[in-house]
Chains A and B, each alone.
Chain A
Amino acid sequence: MGTKIIPASQFTTEELTDFYNETRVDYLVPMPMSVDVMAEYIHDFDVDLDISPIVQDSETGQFLGLGMLGVRGENTWVTRLGVSPASRRRGAGASIMDSMLEASQKMGTKKTILEVIKNNTPAQTLFEKNSFTKTRELLVLRRAPMRPPLSPEGHIAWLYRKDALKALRSYPHHLTWINALKSMENASMFQGFHIELKDGTRGWLVYRHKKHSITHFVFHTERGNPVKMARNILLYLHLQYHRMDAYAENIFADDPHLPAFFDLGYFEAFRRIEMIRDIKI
């Protein structure tokens, strides 16, 4: 079977959405997208459609698979990679990967990053073959809408967009692509809270407020007890948004704030593995 690669920029967002959804029909976590969600995703995560490949059968033009490549400075991010179920095991996935790595190389990329769902062994094997190494395990947590039974302690102040961005700029650790500063700068609704407790514990939470949910949480403890800080901020957050679904993506498995999520009724939906291809290696 001959294949050809066409830049995603030659297709409409509707077509890209259909392609993407076609690759996911049999996934354990299918996460299909609507056209609006796809457009937001491309925008917020700096996906460059000119170097994002669509693979087609060179004779029939039939769609086989796609990948999307986010670009920020010296780093690229592989995302939405998928092959249509009927076209698997014919090398389409490898062609997509090669195309994205070649594009990254041409740009002088230092690091290419991706996340893969834990236990998706075929995908993880493909990435390992391409010199990606596992760096961290990430949790995806959910919480159904409900009013918390307690009120928070401490002094809490809203961080509006400008202040939330300022807080995030001071964040001392490396964030994953979707929670990184640039993603939040691109996002339409982004805000947070700062808290100071009587014992001197203080810190902040920043998050995105989407149409149907609150998402993309980043916690930071400036001083004191991280669990106490996060628990009180989450109590306040869920009092404000008691009718909203919450979806905390890519929380580090060793995040010190994690017990507070579980205290507030979050549960683990699934895990991702972050993998990095470092050109310096």
Chain B
Amino acid sequence: MAKILLIEDIEDNAALVRRALKAKKTDFYWAKNAAEGIEMALEIIPDLILLDLGLPDADGQTLSTWIREEKSLWEIPIIVMTAWPEKTAQQMVEAYHLDGYIGKPFVLQKFWELIDKFVEV
């Protein structure tokens, strides 16, 4: 099964994503902050990372740069989850060499379509 790591500090948001991914039969992992996120990513080597941009210890953009510097992680697709306006979110994706974004609150169908683009479920 595909391994999906969500890095998100808000428990309710994580529960929503977990529920949304249940239908996709993936292995779901959740890290609550940037430090836990990088540690967990190195341990499980996920197939896809879903990344919240507002994390308490280091923000999502900064964390994405650490992930891209890790030899075992740099090729893993990263999708950011953000409430930023579309234009800003798109700029973040391009500037930080990310693979896509999902606006918050997300539409389930769009969320699944994006997941399907990156992992085989």
Contacts and interface: CB of A to CB of B under 8 A. Distances in A.
Interface stretch (A91-99, A199-207, A265-273): A265-273
Interface residues of B, number: 22
A143 interface: yes
Nearest to A244: B65
A39 to B, nearest CB: 12
Interface string A12-48: 0000010001001101111111101100000000000
A245 B95 contact: no
Contacts of B65: 144-145, 243, 245
Interface stretch (B39-47, B50-58, B108-116): B50-58
B14 to A, nearest CB: 12
B10 interface: yes
B74 interface: no
A21 B9 contact: yes
Interface in A123-151: 142-145
A121 to B, nearest CB: 15
B47 to A, nearest CB: 24
Contacts of B12: 25
A31 B58 contact: no
A22 to B, nearest CB: 10
Interface in B68-106: 69, 83-84, 88, 91-92, 95-97
Contact of A31 (B10, B54, B92): B54
A29 B57 CA distance: 15
B96 A144 contact: yes
A37 B57 contact: yes
A268 B90 CA distance: 12
Contacts of A33: 56
B95 A143 contact: yes
A265 to B, nearest CB: 7
Interface string A206-239: 0000011100000000000000000000000000
Given A144-B65, A265-B95, A269-B88, A21 B56 contact: yes
A32 B84 contact: no
B67 to A, nearest CB: 12
Question: Which 10 A-B pairs rank lowest in CB-CB distance, beginning with the nearest?
Answer: A30-B54, A32-B56, A34-B57, A34-B56, A144-B95, A144-B96, A245-B62, A267-B91, A212-B62, A212-B58
8 contacts: A28-B83, A30-B83, A34-B56, A34-B57, A211-B58, A212-B62, A243-B69, A268-B88
Interface of A: 17, 21, 24-25, 27-34, 36-37, 142-145, 211-213, 243, 245, 265, 267-270
